Amino acid sequence: MAWPDFPVGFYPVAVLAILVTGISKSGFGGGAGGIAVPLMSIFIAPPEAAGIMLPILCAMDLFGVHAYRGKASWRHLRALLPGALIGIALGGLAFGALPVDAIRLLLGIIAVTFALNRWFGLSERLAARLARAEGPPGRAAGALWGGLSGFTSTLAHAGGPPFSIWMLPQRLDKTVLVATSIVFFLVVNYAKLVPYAMLGQLNAGNLSASLLFAPLAPLGIWIGVWLHKRMTESTFYAISYALLFATGLKLVYDALA
């Protein structure tokens, strides 16, 4: 396979990004999984960063689906996935139509917004407000939030907050909620292979980098399991989202400079 000509500084940042993603998925519920693409995009183009991460995420998803097999709510998945597929298509169009700096700007805005969302609990507040309604949000809302999740996941592998806004008011059992999340993002990630391949993001160079970094996926998952018993969730997310916020600001600055 051809080897991409990446800056030297990219490699330690990519190692950190992939490890944090694995740790987040296995030890802390996946909330910081959207940090990898913004971090990598400081050194390489966002479509390349997303293309490198996608095969690694697809591999991680298989471990999760095996662990929670048979426990997902397909009724809720049927409401979310049609919109998610549309969101993936729109995200693919954005990757194909926008210049690199415009994507970097959009990615930076997403990163900053998601960090602020974590700190101020915006999605949780919205989910709580929806939960206080007469009934949980219906299929139309599911398609809307599923679409937004698919769009942000396509650009930054960061579809968690929109997914949570619709799912949390459903008041599902914790195990069913986690299992549904895992299946949803497995379908989303594998569906993203289509636009990524069409746009050339799964080229030989990116796949070579994915193969190089692939051993970090199970390592990150193992570290996450280890840290789960030793580090509080608040400490992990305080570090992760501060890094995400700083990264987002850097991307915005680079795009506008």
Domain-wise residue ranges, the chain: 10-256
Question: What pLDDT score does 15 carry?
Answer: 94
Q: What is the pLDDT of residues 57-115, one digit of tens each?
A: 998 888 778 777 888 899 999 999 999 999 999 999 998 898 989 989 988 888 888 78
On the CB side of 116, CA atoms within 13 Å amount to 8
Question: What pLDDT score does 69 carry?
Answer: 82
Q: What is the pLDDT of residues 151-166, one digit of tens each?
A: 989 988 888 888 888 8
H-run or E-run covering 139 = helix 139-156
CA-wise closest residue to 154 among 165, 146, 142, 166 = 146
Question: What pLDDT score does 158 carry?
Answer: 83
Q: What is the average per-residue pLDDT within 14-36?
A: 77
User: Which positions ≥6 away from 154 have C-beta within 8 Å?
Assistant: 50, 87, 88, 90, 91, 92, 94, 95, 192, 195
pLDDT category at 186 given cuts 50, 70, 90 is very high
Q: What is the pLDDT of residues 190-239, one digit of tens each?
A: 999 999 999 999 999 999 999 999 999 888 878 877 876 787 767 877 87
Q: Which amino acid is at 3?
A: W
CB 103 within 8 A of CB 47: yes
* Model confidence, pTM: 0.83
Least confident of 46-55, 133-142, 190-199: 133-142
Question: What pLDDT score does 134 carry?
Answer: 58
CB 31 within 8 A of CB 237: yes
CA-wise closest residue to 243 among 8, 81, 16 = 16
